């Protein structure tokens, strides 16, 4: 899908068609839309291929007077079993246009363009890019908090678990943090290069936005590292907890087996096909049953005194 926006000082206004100098937003492009980017907007084929590659790292290049940026953004996705991951966002800044390209629909761009049309002061295209960086980092913060909340829920389930299901869930959360940490670190290097780019329009607002983008990205990195360290320790601890819970269950089953073995043993002795002087006693059956219950009760008392059950 391609949308066109006019850059004004108070934000962005939607346009019905392409105009020279406008901002072009492209998400989940079709084959025809990719051809439009190549022909009408002169976007290089190699750059489009890189943007469509989910594993492409953040980078900044200058080719033919155009500033080419690939920036990693967070997305919420349940399709691959991992709730949060990152994908590349392509930005092309030329003398005439600013083109933003992403391989799939995402909350970052949806939120950015809805907010930018209302209450963001933008003096130039550089400020727009920096506002996009800042908005992206805020989504990193939001998703990191959601990861932490989901981790707390998994932790509650793990306290009584004897299976690996919860550990698998925790492992997925840790994978999300690895993706976030790697992407945020590469974004940090990109912002540092972005500061020194010769194609940027520098102003007081640009300097302030650059500082804010760096600070927000650094905070997100620190938060991701903290959560990752906590989860690593948690996984080790709860792996031991699951093993200990399993040992407790096995111990309880063993105690129950021993207690049940007592009446079985007594019944086996008196059930042998040999004289035992009780075969003609009318109270033999009740006596054997009573002795079985008594010895089983003594076994339970002994186990309780030793705190084995």
Residue with tokens 């003398």: 95
150: tokens are 């989901």
15: tokens are 């346009």
Q: What's the confidence (pLDDT) of residue 231? A: 79
- Residues comprising the chain, all counted: 309
CA distance 161 to 197: 53
CA distance 131 to 112: 9
CA distance 89 to 109: 10
**Contact status, residue 184 vs residue 217, Cβ threshold 8 Å:** yes
As its CATH architecture, domain 245-305 has Up-down Bundle (1.20)
**Contact status, residue 234 vs residue 159, Cβ threshold 8 Å:** no
Q: What's the confidence (pLDDT) of residue 88? A: 92
Q: What's the confidence (pLDDT) of residue 163? A: 62
Q: What's the confidence (pLDDT) of residue 202? A: 63
Tens digit of pLDDT per residue, the chain (309 long)?
888 888 777 777 888 887 888 888 888 888 888 888 888 888 888 888 888 888 888 888 888 778 889 999 999 876 667 888 899 999 988 877 888 989 888 888 888 888 655 556 677 788 888 888 999 999 999 999 998 888 888 777 766 655 667 777 778 888 888 999 999 999 999 988 888 776 566 666 777 888 888 999 999 999 999 988 887 777 777 767 767 777 877 888 888 888 878 787 777 777 766 676 666 667 777 777 887 788 778 777 777 777 666
Q: What's the confidence (pLDDT) of residue 26? A: 87
Query: Which residues lie across from 65 on neighbouring strands?
Result: none
133: tokens are 């960086």
SS3 of residue 121 by DSSP: coil
CA distance 269 to 209: 88
Q: What's the confidence (pLDDT) of residue 74? A: 92
Query: Which residues lie across from 24 on neighbouring strands?
Result: 4, 99
Domain range summary for the chain, segments of one domain joined by + = 2-244, 245-305
SS3 of residue 81 by DSSP: coil
Q: What's the confidence (pLDDT) of residue 120? A: 65
Q: How far is CA 281 from the centre of its chain?
A: 73
CATH number of the 2-244 domain: 3.30.460.20
CA distance 121 to 143: 26
**Contact status, residue 14 vs residue 117, Cβ threshold 8 Å:** yes
Q: What's the confidence (pLDDT) of residue 77? A: 79
Q: What's the confidence (pLDDT) of residue 276? A: 66
Q: What's the confidence (pLDDT) of residue 198? A: 65
Q: What's the confidence (pLDDT) of residue 290? A: 81
């Amino acid at each position: 899908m391609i949308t066109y926006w006019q850059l004004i000082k108070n934000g962005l206004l939607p346009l019905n068609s392409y105009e020279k100098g406008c901002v072009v937003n492209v998400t989940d492009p079709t084959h025809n839309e990719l051809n439009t980017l190549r022909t009408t907007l002169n976007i290089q084929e190699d750059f489009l291929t890189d943007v469509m590659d989910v594993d492409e790292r953040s980078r900044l290049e200058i080719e033919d007077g155009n500033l080419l940026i690939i920036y990693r953004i967070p997305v919420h996705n349940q399709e691959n079993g991992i709730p949060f991951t990152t994908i590349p966002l392509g930005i092309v800044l030329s003398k005439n246009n600013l083109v933003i390209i992403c391989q799939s629909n995402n909350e970052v761009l949806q939120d950015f363009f809805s907010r930018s049309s209302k209450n963001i002061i933008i003096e130039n295209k550089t400020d727009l890019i920096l506002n996009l960086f800042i908005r992206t980092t805020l989504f990193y913060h939001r998703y990191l908090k959601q990861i932490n909340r989901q981790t707390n829920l998994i932790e509650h389930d793990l306290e009584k678990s004897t299976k690996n299901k919860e550990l698998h869930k925790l492992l997925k959360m840790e994978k999300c943090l690895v993706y976030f940490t790697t992407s945020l670190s590469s974004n940090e290097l990109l912002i540092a290069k972005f500061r020194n780019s010769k194609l940027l329009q520098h102003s007081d607002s640009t300097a302030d936005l650059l500082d804010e983008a760096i600070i927000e990205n650094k905070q997100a990195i620190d938060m991701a590292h903290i959560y990752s360290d906590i989860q690593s320790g948690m996984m080790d601890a709860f792996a031991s907890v699951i093993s200990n819970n399993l040992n407790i269950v096995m111990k309880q089953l063993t105690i129950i087996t021993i207690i049940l073995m007592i009446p079985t043993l007594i019944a086996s002795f008196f059930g042998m096909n040999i004289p035992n002087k009780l075969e003609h006693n009318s109270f033999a059956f009740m006596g054997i049953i009573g002795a079985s219950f008594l010895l089983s009760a003594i076994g339970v008392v002994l186990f309780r005194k030793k705190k084995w059950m």
